[in-house]
Structure 1
Amino acid sequence: MRYSLLGSSLLTLVLSLMPPIHADQSAAPDHTLAVISSTGLKAVLDELLPEFEHTTGYKVAVKYGPSAALKQQIEQGAPFDLVVLTPAFIEDLIRQGSVVPDSKHSIARAGMAIAVRAGAQRPDIRTTNALTRTLLEAKSIAYAKQGAGGIYFAALTDRLKIAERLTSKSRPTETGDQVAHAVAAGEAELGILPLSEILPVPQIEVLGPFPPEVQDYAVMVGGVGAHATDAAAAKKLIAFLTAPGAVAVIERKGMELVK
Structure 2
Amino acid sequence: MENEIRVLSTLALMGAVRGLAEPYQAAGGARIDADFAPTLGLLERLRGGEAADVVILTREALGDLARQGTVVADSRVDLARSFVGIAVKAGADHPGIATEEALRATLLGARAVAYSRIGASGIFFAALIERMGIAPAINARARIIPSGLTAELLVSGEAELAVQQLSELKLVAGIEVVGPIPRHLQTPAVFSAGRLSASQRVVQADRLLKYLASPEVAPMLRDSGLEP
For normalisation by structure 1, the TM-score amounts to 0.84
Distance 2:68 2:175 in 1: 39
Distance 1:209 1:34 in 2: 32
Q: Could you tell me which of 248, 254, 257 is aligned with 2:219? A: 248
Query: Is 1:81 matched up with 2:53?
Result: yes
Query: Is 1:114 matched up with 2:86?
Result: yes
- How far 1:166 moved relative to its partner? 1.6
- Structure with greater helix share of residues: 1
Distance 1:207 1:57 in 2: 37
Query: Is 1:147 matched up with 2:119?
Result: yes
- The SS at the match of 2:172 is coil
Residues 167 and 224 in structure 2, CA contact (< 8 A), matched pair in contact too: yes
Q: Could you tell me which of 10, 30, 33 is aligned with 2:5? A: 33
Distance 1:217 1:176 in 2: 20
Query: Is 1:234 matched up with 2:208?
Result: no
Partner of 1:21: none
The correspondence of residues 90-105 of structure 1 with structure 2, limited to 5 A, is: 90-105=62-77
- The SS at the match of 2:79 is strand
Distance 1:180 1:167 in 2: 17
- In our comparison, the structure showing a higher alpha carbon Rg is 1
Query: Is 1:66 matched up with 2:38?
Result: yes
Q: Could you tell me which of 171, 184, 203 is aligned with 1:213? A: 184
Partner of 1:184: 155
Query: Is 1:160 matched up with 2:107?
Result: no
Distance 2:103 2:29 in 1: 48
Q: How many residues align?
A: 228
Distance 2:3 2:209 in 1: 18
Distance 2:155 2:188 in 1: 23
1:98-131 alpha-carbon deviations (Å, 9 max, x no partner): 1111111111122110011111122111100110
Query: Is 1:49 matched up with 2:16?
Result: no
**Unmatched 5+ residue regions in structure 1?**
1-28
- How far 1:200 moved relative to its partner? 2.9
Query: Is 1:197 matched up with 2:168?
Result: yes
Which shows bigger deviation, 208-217 or 36-45? Answer: 208-217
Which shows bigger deviation, 216-225 or 61-70? Answer: 216-225
- The SS at the match of 1:256 is coil
Residues 70 and 198 in structure 2, CA contact (< 8 A), matched pair in contact too: yes
Q: Which runs of 4+ in 1 moved over 6 A?
A: none
Considering only aligned residues, what root-mean-square deviation do their CA atoms show, in Å? 1.4
For normalisation by structure 2, the TM-score amounts to 0.95
- How far 1:31 moved relative to its partner? 4.3
The share of aligned pairs that are identical, in percent, is 35
- The SS at the match of 1:232 is helix
**Unmatched 5+ residue regions in structure 2?**
none
Letter in 2 for 1:111: F
Distance 2:45 2:85 in 1: 27
